[in-house]
Amino acid sequence: MSACVAVPSLLLPTPVAHNAVATMSIPVVDLVGDTLTAAQEIVSDAAQSTGLVYIRNLPTQPDFEAIQRLFDTLYQSPLLMARLNSTYPKRGVIKLAGKLTDDEAIDNKVTLDLSAQRLQYLQDDGLRKDLGIEFDAAVKFFEAVEEKLVPLVLHATSNVISTPEVEVDLRDIHREGNNNFRLTDYHRGPTSRRHGCGEHRDYGTATLIFQDGSGGLEFEDPSTKQWLPIPGNETVLVWGWCGHVLSGGKIRVVKHRVKAIESARRNTAICFLAPDLNTPLQPLVDPVGRFADTVREGKVSVEMFKEMMGKKWRRREGNEKDEPSRSVVVLSPYLVLWPLAVLYLVSLLPTPNQMKQFTSKSREQFQ
């Protein structure tokens, strides 16, 4: 959940006024029935209104039975799991923390995270062979999503941001493949009713969520604040904080969660799109509301923001033992940096020379 801290009012942004959503009728893109132009228009409109859209008749679908077999293979072979994690020692590839705890504050799930960068480290042919055809199928699906769906999302999102004066092409800042592909394995606990994934908003530009039909995904209606279910057979596109900031506040960021699952098991495949890490996280056009000066002036990079927000989501997933980072505070729907608030307050304190002069004048006054 979003956190708040006391900061000087000059650092607080002014809320952006989105049009109210009268009824939560979720837009639908049909990749077979809709023309490319129509599909892009539907996605662009959804980014500003509902903040999510269903995508149907996909050119490629994940094989969820193969995904389950991949997880089961790793569960049954701790050595194979260790070999896979050794390819990315900083964070690991598969994370079991949610499966190994009864803490109700921790997401009840196991995750397997891939990216183009991590796959470059996975050059051991023997390891790839032992992971089996299920792993290769997951990688091929990820590559197909990047090839066939990501361009549509970036183009439609660019159209939201562009103005008559400024034409924006998000491909210019999404060249390095800073996308993350996640497989998730949710289990229903024998006694606990722990949530599958706590309520949150994503950090990146946009997120594609592919479901296995089990259900459990919910989003918050921005008008009523009620949680509404997403049908388990829908593929969902939502936008994240980077998309919101880059658009100057035009794009709506929807809070979502996964409730305690009803089925014995639930699987999803998720593609997180994000800008290149060295990109300044600032509005690309005149914002529709006020942002903190540090954000508006581009003093925060995507890499800085990801690292700060990463501490928060890793703690929710049970993978961060330290105290959660308070370097970035999300004041819905905006960003402020609390260290800058501290710096601002410190700047108000007198310097040693000023203190010396003040003390001297005070002595003269009361002598």
Q: What is the DSSP string of 126-161?
A: HHHHHHHHHHHHHHHHHHHHHHHTHHHHHHHHHHHH
Nearest Cα to Cα of residue 107 among 351, 332, 330, 320: 320
Question: Which is it for strands 28-30 and 52-56: parallel, antiparallel or unpaired?
Answer: parallel
CATH number for the domain harbouring residue 66:
2.60.120.330
Mean pLDDT for 125-130 is 91
Is the confidence at residue 275, as pLDDT, over 80?
A: yes
pLDDT at 191: 62
Is the confidence at residue 8, as pLDDT, over 50?
A: no
In a domain, 352, yes or no: no
Distance CA 112, CA 95 (A): 6
Number of helices (H), then strands (E), in the chain: 11, 14
Mean pLDDT for 279-303 is 90
Nearest Cα to Cα of residue 46 among 233, 193, 254, 220: 254
In a domain, 72, yes or no: yes
% residues pLDDT > 90 (the chain): 55
Comparing 193 with 110, which gets the higher pLDDT? Answer: 110
In a domain, 362, yes or no: no
Mean pLDDT for 137-159 is 96
In a domain, 86, yes or no: yes
Distance CA 66, CA 73 (A): 10
Nearest Cα to Cα of residue 290 among 20, 10, 45: 10
Is the confidence at residue 185, as pLDDT, over 60?
A: yes
Phi, psi at 298, each rounded to 5°: 75, 30
Distance CA 273, CA 175 (A): 11
Is the confidence at residue 20, as pLDDT, over 50?
A: no
What confidence tens digit (pLDDT) does each residue in 346-355 have? 344 455 555 4
Angle between helices 150-161 and 125-148 (to 10 degrees): 40
Is the confidence at residue 267, as pLDDT, over 70?
A: yes
CB distance 234 to 211 below 8 Å: yes
Using the structure block, give the residue that is written with the tokens 């050059």. 123
pLDDT at 27: 96
pLDDT at 194: 76
pLDDT at 121: 80
**What does pTM read for this prediction?**
0.80
pLDDT at 347: 42
Q: What is the DSSP string of 229-281?
A: EPPTT-EEEEE-HHHHHHTTT-S----EEE---SSSEEEEEEEEE---TTSB-
If you ran DSSP here, which 8-state letter would residue 335 be given? E
Count up the domains in the chain and report the number.
1
Please name the residue ranges forming H helices in the chain: 36-48, 64-76, 78-85, 116-121, 125-148, 150-161, 241-246, 293-296, 302-316, 338-347, 352-366
Q: Which of 86-90, 124-128, 319-323 has the lowest mean pLDDT?
A: 319-323
231 token code pair: 């049908």
If you ran DSSP here, which 8-state letter would residue 9 be given? G
Mean pLDDT, the chain, whole residue set: 81
pLDDT at 17: 43
- Class of residue 41 by CB neighbours under 10 A (exposed 0-12, middle 13-18, buried 19+): middle
CB distance 158 to 168 below 8 Å: yes
Comparing 200 with 321, which gets the higher pLDDT? Answer: 200
Dihedral sign, Cα of residue 19, residue 24, residue 25, residue 26: positive
pLDDT at 261: 77
In a domain, 356, yes or no: no
In a domain, 325, yes or no: yes
Q: Which of 203-217, 246-260, 289-303, 325-339 has the lowest mean pLDDT?
A: 325-339
Q: Which of 5-9, 171-175, 262-266 has the highest mean pLDDT?
A: 171-175
In a domain, 347, yes or no: no
Greatest pairwise CA separation for the chain in angstroms: 89
pLDDT at 18: 46
Comparing 80 with 321, which gets the higher pLDDT? Answer: 80
In a domain, 355, yes or no: no
CA distance readout (Å), 283 to 59, 243, 300 = 33, 9, 11
Comparing 187 with 51, which gets the higher pLDDT? Answer: 51
Cis bond upstream, residue 287 (ω within 30): no
CB distance 258 to 197 below 8 Å: yes
Confidence of residue 99 (pLDDT cuts 50, 70, 90): confident
Confidence of residue 192 (pLDDT cuts 50, 70, 90): low
If you ran DSSP here, which 8-state letter would residue 185 be given? E
CB distance 302 to 274 below 8 Å: yes
CA distance readout (Å), 359 to 207, 347, 353 = 59, 19, 10
Determine the structural domain holding residue 192 and report its residue range: 9-337
